């Protein structure tokens, strides 16, 4: 299995010969206390397992199923909360952006800029993110084949940036469902950049509840274990203390109380796989 490029994020080294890393947090910022408390607890769990951790949450979820769905606190308030997570919890942070203007407003406060799956082919957005010089995590669109990410990579590289993470989050065939092709992980890794598996969005049922997305969170551990066995560099998880009460993506969010046990399993698989990598 080929080695991917090492990406530095703060004091962390992601990809390359480095161990499995975690990107995790609530889907959307609901309030400051929940965000900070969740970040602290995930950091505590990851520190105990020696797993590199990047905190993720969003100030705005612009592609919700219905107009009345909760989107988040907005750019200004969300940016301040993410800054507080970074400064008080002392972990790197990542959040998604939806426009060139948002890139300019947020990039100084985050360590990784995330491009949402539905916007992964937006050339101007990719170029704006590239020019910041920050690492960029691109969610592979549900409508793309894994080899199609080559064009996305070339767009970002054309802006002078080679700090790229690629995230698999399932493929849509309609009918409110997503399917994960594990072949996509080694295929995308052939482009030389670290590949992340989003185990929570991959069990989402887009629009499955009519005015919001459903999800099958009971399958998260199965897909996560399979992805690590396939050699992914990192795992992405939406994590919430009370998923059933989450304001966004609750049905496909992973319970915080179960995180430690899952990460221990994934770490052990990663160690085993790395012994046999060629």
In a domain, 258, yes or no: yes
Residue closest to 101 by CA, chosen among 79, 82, 121: 79
Residue 257 maps to a domain: yes
Task: Give domain status of residue 261, yes or no.
Answer: yes
pLDDT grade, residue 206 (50/70/90)?
Answer: confident
pLDDT at residue 211 tops 90: no
Q: Where is mean pLDDT largest: 135-139, 207-211, 273-277?
A: 135-139
Nearest to 198, CA basis, from 74, 26, 39, 24: 24
- In this structure, what DSSP letter does residue 74 have? -
**52-88 residue pLDDT tens:** 999 999 999 887 667 778 899 999 999 999 999 999 9
Flag whether 190 is in a domain: yes
Q: What is the mean pLDDT of residues 105-113?
A: 96
- Mean pLDDT calculated for residue range 117-131: 98
Residue 2 within any structural domain of the chain: no
C-alpha 49/C-alpha 208 separation (Å) is 35
Number of domains making up the chain: 1
Would you state the pLDDT for residue 259? 98
Strand pairing partners for 13? Answer: 8
The set of residues, in sequence order, having a beta carbon less than 8 Å from that of 175 and lying 6+ positions away, is none
Is 3 within the bounds of a domain? no
Which range of residues forms the domain containing residue 235? Answer: 19-275
Asked whether residue 138 is domain-assigned, the answer is: yes
Sign of CA dihedral 78, 212, 234, 193: negative
CATH number, domain at 69? 3.20.20.70
Is residue 68 included in any domain, yes or no? yes
The C-alpha angle 226, 231, 235, rounded to 5 degrees, equals 70
* Bridge partners of residue 58, in order along the sequence: 28
Q: Which long-range contacts (CB under 8 A, 24 or more apart) does 62-69 make?
A: 62/98, 62/116, 63/116, 63/118, 64/212, 64/248, 65/206, 65/207, 65/209, 65/210, 65/211, 65/212, 65/213, 66/211, 66/212, 68/211, 69/211, 69/212, 69/248
Q: What is the DSSP letter of 230?
A: T
**96, 58 in Cβ contact below 8 A?**
yes
Read off the pLDDT band of 170 (50, 70, 90).
very high
Cβ-count burial 110-135 (b if 16+ within 10 Å, e if not): bbbbbbbbebbbbeebbbbbbbbebb
Q: How many CB atoms lie within 10 A of CB 63?
A: 14
Write the pLDDT tens digit of every residue in 29-50: 999 999 999 999 999 999 999 9
3-state SS class at 95: strand
């Amino acid at each position: 299995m080929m080695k991917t490029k090492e990406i530095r994020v703060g004091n962390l080294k992601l990809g390359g010969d480095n161990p499995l890393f975690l990107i995790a947090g609530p889907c959307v910022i609901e309030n400051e206390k929940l965000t900070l408390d969740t970040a602290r607890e995930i950091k505590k769990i990851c520190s105990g397992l020696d797993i590199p951790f990047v905190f993720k949450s969003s100030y705005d979820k612009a592609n919700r199923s219905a107009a009345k769905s909760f989107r988040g606190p907005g750019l200004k308030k969300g940016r301040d909360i993410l800054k507080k997570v970074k400064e008080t919890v002392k972990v790197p942070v990542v959040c998604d952006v939806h426009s060139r203007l948002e890139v300019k407003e947020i990039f100084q406060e985050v360590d990784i800029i995330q491009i949402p799956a539905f916007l992964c082919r937006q050339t101007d957005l990719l170029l704006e993110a590239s020019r910041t010089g920050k690492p960029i995590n691109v969610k592979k669109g549900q409508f793309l084949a894994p080899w199609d990410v080559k064009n996305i990579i070339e767009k970002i590289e054309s802006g002078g940036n080679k700090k790229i993470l690629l995230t698999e989050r399932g493929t849509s065939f309609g009918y409110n469902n997503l399917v994960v092709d594990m072949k996509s992980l080694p295929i995308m890794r052939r482009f030389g950049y670290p590949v992340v598996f989003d185990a929570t969005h991959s069990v989402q049922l887009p629009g499955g509840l009519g005015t919001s997305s459903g999800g099958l969170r009971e399958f998260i551990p199965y897909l996560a274990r399979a992805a690590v066995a396939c050699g992914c560099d990192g795992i992405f998880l939406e994590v919430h203390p009370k998923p059933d009460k989450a304001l966004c993506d609750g049905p496909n969010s992973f319970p915080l109380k179960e995180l430690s046990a899952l990460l221990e399993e994934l770490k052990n698989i990663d160690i085993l796989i790395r012994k046999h990598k060629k």
